[in-house]
Structure 1
Amino acid sequence: MDTVEVDGLRLAYRRTGHGRAVVFVHGGAEDGRVWAPQLDALSDEFTVIAWDEPGAGGSDDVPDGFGLSDYADCLAGLIRALGVSPTPVVGLSWGTTVILELYRRHPEVVRSIVLADGYAGWRGSLGAEEADARLAGVCAALAQPEERFDPTLPGLFAADPPARFVPLLEAMAADVRPSSILTALTAMARADLSHVLPTVGVPTLLIWGALDARSPLSVAYEFERRIPGASLAVIPDCGHVSNLQAPGPFNDLVRGFLQRHG
């Protein structure tokens, strides 16, 4: 794992492979390790980069007052610092919200987009009532004694998590910083980037689990309808964390898209 300094923050990232670069943006209560199957599978053809957002993994804590625009600015800074702009970006869940904000603020660093099981912010995709309820649930979980805190949310998988990834999930959960995840999910709850969707002017692939209980298919269909030229691929029998529950189909979809639009 390497680091780069952006806006006074040390950002950690994993980089492997050779060829055209692609940047992966993880979801909430995760870090770049969640992309392990993609780093392994796609590095034969691409330079695969997975960041740890501020407050996650090996990156510095988030400063006071950090918001969605700051995550996007840090991601843009990392892309520029690594010399891979413009680049394809692939996001999962909360990572898709960061990517939409990245495109809104820094479209010049984005070559193409893959959005998996995501949101235009909770407010933008689920409505104010559900966004507020989810944030209240996060706050309630964080109010528990530290040893009882469990960042795993219901509905992440369509069934039990794949056994081979359980140690990875447990390792990421053990490293979650409660204050940082509260910052990220507060930004997620407040965000409404639905107005950004029609402005996306780069090739866009949507990947969704057919049984996603966190971001239902209705969100995917809205993305498909509103993002010009977007294509939607639905993975059967798959939940919210589609890159871990169905890594083979997920990787094939990303590889094919990058070969066409990378």
Structure 2
Amino acid sequence: MDVVEIDGLNLAFRRAGNGPAVVFVHGGAEDGRTWSPQLDALADEFTVIAWDEPGAGGSSDVPAGFGLSDYADSLAGLIRALDVSPCTLVGISWGVTVILELYRRHPEVVRSLVLADGYAGWRGSLGADEADARLAGLRDQPADSFDPTLPGLFAGPPPAQFMPLMEAISADVRRHSMLTALTAMAHADLNDVLDTIRVPTQLIWGALDARSPLSVAHEFRRRIPGADLAVIPGCGHVSNLEAPQAFNDVLRFFLRRT
């Protein structure tokens, strides 16, 4: 793991491979380790970079008042500091929300997008009532634990080969940081950004995603000009871990095309 300082924050990241740059943006209550199957598979052909967002993994805690625009600015700062602009950005779940805000604020650093099982913010994709209910549920969760097998993350039992990884990641979750990120997602409505996207865009969704249902994917495809949607059968919300081979196949094909 390497670290770079951006606007006074230490941002940790993993980097491997050579070739066109691909930057991976993890979901909420996760860090860059969640992309291990993708980094391992694609480093043979691409420069793959997975960040730990502020407040996650090896990165600095989130400062007071940190919001969605700050996550986006930090990510853009990392991309520029690593001299990989413009690059492909790959995000999942909350990571999609961060990428959409980055595209609004820093479109020049983006070559293409891969958006998986995500949201234009919870408010934007699910409505205010569902966004508020999800946030309330997170706030009621015990302070000393985060369940990596939260119902709805997987279509079936969590994949056994990734349980040690998920447990290690969940053990490192910082409650304040998790709530900061997911509060930003609960309040965000980025539907207006979807119509402005003018770079090649690949959508990847689990067919049985209960957290971000396929109706969200179809709305993304309708609003993002030229977006293509790949649906992975029998797969839930964390499609990159539940079906890594299928996910990687779609991703590699898109990256070669673009």
Scaled to the shorter chain, the TM-score interval is over 0.9
> Does 1:222 pair with 2:219?
yes
State the TM-score, normalizing by the size of structure 1. Answer: 0.97
1:100-125 Cα shifts (integer Å, max 9, x gaps): 00000000000000000000000000
User: Over aligned residue pairs, what C-alpha RMSD do you find?
Assistant: 0.8
Q: Counterparts of 1:118 and 1:190 in 2: how far apart (Å)?
A: 15
**Matching residue of 2:201:** 204
1:23-56 Cα shifts (integer Å, max 9, x gaps): 0000000000000000100000001000000000
**Matching residue of 1:248:** 245
1:129-188 Cα shifts (integer Å, max 9, x gaps): 0000000001111xx252x44365310000011100000000000000000000000000
Distance 1:260 1:77, change over 3 A: same
Contact 2:148–2:166 under 8 Å retained in 1: no
Shift in Å, 1:228: 0.4
Give the match's secondary structure for 1:199.
coil
**Matching residue of 1:51:** 51
Quick one: which amino acid aligns to residue 138 of structure 1? Answer: L
Distance 1:4 1:145, change over 3 A: closer
Structure 1 runs of 4+ aligned residues shifted over 2 Å read 148-153
Contact 1:209–1:240 under 8 Å retained in 2: yes
Q: Counterparts of 1:228 and 1:79 in 2: how far apart (Å)?
A: 25
Contact 1:152–1:173 under 8 Å retained in 2: no
Quick one: which amino acid aligns to residue 225 of structure 2? Answer: P
Shift in Å, 1:18: 1.0
Contact 1:117–1:212 under 8 Å retained in 2: yes
**Matching residue of 1:3:** 3
Structure 2: which 5+ runs fail to align?
A: none
Distance 1:199 1:40, change over 3 A: same
**Matching residue of 1:84:** 84
Q: Counterparts of 2:146 and 2:104 in 1: how far apart (Å)?
A: 34
**Matching residue of 1:183:** 180
Give the match's secondary structure for 1:89.
strand
Q: Counterparts of 2:15 and 2:172 in 1: how far apart (Å)?
A: 20
Q: Counterparts of 2:248 and 2:150 in 1: how far apart (Å)?
A: 24
Q: Counterparts of 1:235 and 1:31 in 2: how far apart (Å)?
A: 23
Shift in Å, 1:10: 0.2
Q: How many residues align?
A: 258
Quick one: which amino acid aligns to residue 156 of structure 2? Answer: A
1:64-84 Cα shifts (integer Å, max 9, x gaps): 000000000000000000000
Structure 1: which 5+ runs fail to align?
A: none
Contact 1:151–1:176 under 8 Å retained in 2: no
Contact 2:143–2:175 under 8 Å retained in 1: no
**Matching residue of 1:130:** 130
